Amino acid sequence: MNTADIVVIVVMAIGLVAWIGEPVVRRGRMQEAAADAHDDAIERLILQKETLYTAIRDLDFDHQTGKVDAEDHVALRRQMEAEAADILRQLDLADPLADLDLVAEREILAYRRKEDAASEDTCPTCGTDLAADATYCPICGQLLKPAV
């Protein structure tokens, strides 16, 4: 073994020990970990929300491409919306500011619900309550007035 090799090996060993040992010597990272765990919980909820949103999108798409009947579509969509609302509530409890977009979306949702309730029109195909100015049914997609 020549001297250069020995030097490289020694440097490698010292570097390795310093690199691995540094966190143990410094410690004091407990708070960071606790914060991470909290973030994990919220991230999990957001993921669940996104999964459901994707599922709803897929359901709508399956309906549009003729794989799901209007009847099934309404029933399944209602069920998924209920699940989504439940997750949004949990997210709200976990951290009201976790996802500002989410808050905005919820408000829009609530507003539309109110609007829907106020209107007396119903869809001729599936019977869903409709907003007064609806162009087509939000549930089954039935065209109500000619699109502009």
Partner 1 sequence: MNDVGGAALQFAFVAALYAIATALIGVRTGRQELIRSAERATFGVFALVSVAMIALLFAILTHDFRVQYVTSVSNLSMPIFYLIASLWGGQEGSMLLWLWVLTLYGAIAVAQNLHRNRELMPYVVPTLMATSILFLAILIFAENPFHELAQAPLDGQGLNPLLQNPLMVIHPPNLYLGFVGFAVPFSFAIGALASGRLDSQWIRSIRRWTLIPWLFLTVGILLGGQWAYVELGWGGYWAWDPVENASLLPWLTATAFLHSVMIQEKKGMLKVWNMSLVILTYGLSIFGTFLTRSGVISSVHAFAESSLGVYFLIYLAIALTIAVALLVWRLPELRSDHRLESVLSRESSFLFNNLFFVGIMFSVLWGTMFPIISEAVRGVKISVAAPFFNQVNVPLGLALLLLSGVCPLIAWRRGSVRNFQRNFLNPLVVSLLGVAVLYGSGIRHVVALISLSICLFTFSTIVLEFYRGTRARRASTGGTAWQAFFSLMTRNRRRYGGYTIHFGVVLIFVGITGSSAYKIERDIVLDPMEQTTVGDFALRYETLESDLQPTHESIRARVEVSRNGRYVTTLFPERRFYFAQNQPTTEVALRTSLLEDLYIILAGFEPSGTATFKVFVNPLMVWLWLGGLVMIIGTLIAIWPERGQSARIGAPGTPTTETAAEQG
109-128 residues in contact with partner 1 (CB under 8 A) are 109, 112, 115-116
Residue 97 near partner 1 by CB under 8 A: no
From 117, 118, 132, 143, residue interacting with partner 1 (rule: CB under 8 A): 143
Instruction: Tell whether residue 104 is a contact of partner 1 (CB under 8 A).
Output: no
Residue where the block lists tokens 């500011």: 97
- 3-state DSSP of 37-102: HHHHHHHHHHHHHHHHHHHHHHHHHHHHCCCCCHHHHHHHHHHHHHHHHHHHHHHHHHCCCCCHHH
**Smallest distance from the beta carbon of 64 to partner 1, in angstroms?**
4
Q: Using alpha carbons, list the distances in angstroms from residue 140 to 61, 81, 127.
A: 11, 15, 9
Q: Can you tell me which of 37, 97, 100, 148 binds partner 1, judged by CB under 8 A? A: 37
Q: Looking at 42, 90, 98, 138, which residue binds partner 1 (CB under 8 A)? A: 138
Does residue 40 interact with partner 1 by CB under 8 A?
yes
Q: How far apart are CA 136 and CA 51, in angstroms?
A: 26
Distant-in-sequence, close-in-space partners of 42: CB < 8 Å, separation ≥ 6: 91, 94, 95, 98
Least gap, CB of 72 to partner 1 (angstroms): 6
By beta-carbon proximity to partner 1, the closer residue of 53 and 92 is: 53
Give the contact letters, 48-77, x = binds to partner 1 (CB under 8 A), - = no.
Answer: x-xx-xxxxxxxxxxxxxxxxx--x---xx
